[in-house]
Amino acid sequence: MINGTGQVSPVTQQAVLRAIEEMGGIKLRRRRSRSRDPLGATSRSGLVEVVMHLISPIEHISIANGQIAIGPIAHCPPEKFFRPENRFCNTHFRRIIDGAMDELNRVRLRPVLRTTDNLKDGQLLADISHPDLQGIILIGNDGPEVDAFLRRCSCPTVSFIGGGRNGQPYVASDDLPGMRQAIAHLKELGHRRIAYIACPRKLPGFLDRLNAFLVAMVEHGLEIRRPWIFEDSIHVHDIMAAVEQMLKGSSRPTAIMCSYDAAALGAIRAAENCGMSVPRDLSVIGFGNQDICEFVRPALTTVEVPTYEMGRAAVNLLQLRRINGEMAAGMSIRLPTRLVQRSSTGKPGGERRSYVLVNSETGG
C-alpha cells in the first residue's frame, strides 16, 4: 500500500500515510529488477534444498502442569530448532516446511532440509552448486548474509525472506484481509479504543502487518493512537510491561490487536496482573493461529496465516521458475489470511471499573 500497490482507496492511503508520518515514518526497501539467468532445468527429478536460516534468539515457550511457561530468551542451535521441545517456537516455519516437503514429493522432486546459522558455510555453498540441484527454497531469519547467498544461487530459487528484494521470487501472507476482518469484528462488538502490539521495524515482514492494521483502522473510522502502538520488542515479558502501562492509564484500550500469537499471551497476562479478565474487561486478538493457541485460556481469537499452503505455493513458484526461467523472475505469491473467532473477544464492559496493578511476585 505504501508503495502504491494493494486494494486500498486513495483516501485511505493518504490517511494511513499521515499516521505513518506521525509515527516517525517507515523506511521501506525498494525492489530492483535483476537480469541474472537461472539454469532453467525442466527435469522432474533431482534435488531441492530447503534451507532454514536461523540466527535470531528464540523465547522458549513450554507447557508444564497445564500452565504456559515463558523463557528464557536464548540462541538455539539450528540442529535443535525442530525438536519437539521447541514446538511452540517453530510452528510457523515447521508448517511451511511441511507444505513444501509434501508438494515436492508430489511433483517427484527430492527435498533436502538443512538448518543453518551460517549462509557462508563452505559445504552449503558447495552443495548449492551441485549439478543435480533443481532449486532452492530459503526460509527463516533475514540478515546481512542473505543477499550474498541468493546471488550465489545459480539454480532457480524462491525465498520467504526479504519480500522480493532484488527481484527474487518470494512467497508471503497477505495480512490485510485477516486484519480487516479482525478490526471489523472488534468494531462490531463495540470497541473503539484499540491498541496494537507490533514488532521492531528492523523485522521487514512485520511492516506489512503494521501497515495492514493502520489501513483497517482508517477504513473503519477508528482513531490511531500512537502511545497504544508498541514496537520496541518481540519478547513476551517486555510486551507484558508495555500493556500494563497502557491499562493503568485513565483512558485505556478496550481491545488489543497483536501481530503474533505469543504477543497475545503477553497481553492476556498483563490484563491478569492488572486484575482484569479477558474478554470481560479486555479483548485480545493474536495473529498466526500457531500451536500455542490450543493452550491459551481463554481460547485465543486470532488471524490465521496459511503457512502450510505457503509452503506448497513456494514449490509451485519454483516449478514456474524452473520451466519459464527469467520470465518468472520477480514473481510473488501472497496468500490471504482470515480471522478465526474463539473466546478472547467480547463486548467492552469494564472501561468504567478501576483496577489495581497486582505485583506478580508478591501477589499484592
The total number of structural domains in the chain stands at 2
d(CA 179, CA 200): 19
On whether residue 2 sits in a domain, the answer given is no
Query: What would the grid cell of residue 84 be?
Result: 519437539
The C-alpha atoms of residue 164 and residue 8 are separated, in whole angstroms, by 21
Q: In angstroms, rounded to a whole number, what is the distance separating the alpha carbons of residues 5 and 211?
A: 12
| Helices 205-219 and 175-189, packing angle to 10 deg | 40
In a domain, 353, yes or no: no
The amino acid at 362: T
C-alpha separations of 127 from 133, 152, 153 in Å: 8, 11, 10
pLDDT in tens, 67-119: 899 988 999 999 999 999 999 999 999 999 999 999 999 999 999 999 999 99
Mark whether 147 and 266 lie in a shared domain: no
Do 167 and 316 sit in the same domain of this protein? yes
* Helix 87-106 with 307-324: angle, nearest 10 deg: 40
Regarding whether 324 and 209 lie in a shared domain, the answer is no
For residue 40, what pLDDT is reported?
Answer: 35
Same structural domain, 155 and 182: no
Residue ranges in the chain whose pLDDT is less than 50: 2-5, 25-44, 351-364
Same domain, 178 and 299: yes
Answer left, alpha or beta for residue 210, where phi above 0 means left and psi between -120 and 50 means alpha.
Answer: alpha
For position 97, which CATH number holds? Answer: 3.40.50.2300
User: Is 360 part of a structural domain of the chain?
Assistant: no
Q: DSSP for 29-78?
A: PPP------------S-SEEEEEEE--S-EEEEEEETTEEEEEEEE---G
In a domain, 5, yes or no: no
In a domain, 342, yes or no: no
Same domain, 16 and 118: no
124 and 163 part of one domain: yes
Clarify whether residues 18 and 61 are in a common domain.
no
The reply to whether 1 falls in a domain is no
| 344 within domain boundaries | no
Q: What is the pLDDT of residue 65?
A: 82
Answer yes or no: do 123 and 178 share one domain. Answer: no
Structural domain of 271: 10-28+174-304
Q: Strands 338-340 and 301-304, how do they pair? A: antiparallel
60 and 167 in a single domain? The answer is yes
Does residue 271 share a domain with residue 243?
yes
- Ramachandran region of residue 139, left (φ > 0), alpha (ψ -120 to 50) or beta? beta
Q: How many residues does the chain have?
A: 364
Q: Is residue 191 part of a domain?
A: yes
Q: Are residues 94 and 207 in the same domain?
A: no
pTM: 0.84
298: cell is 481463554
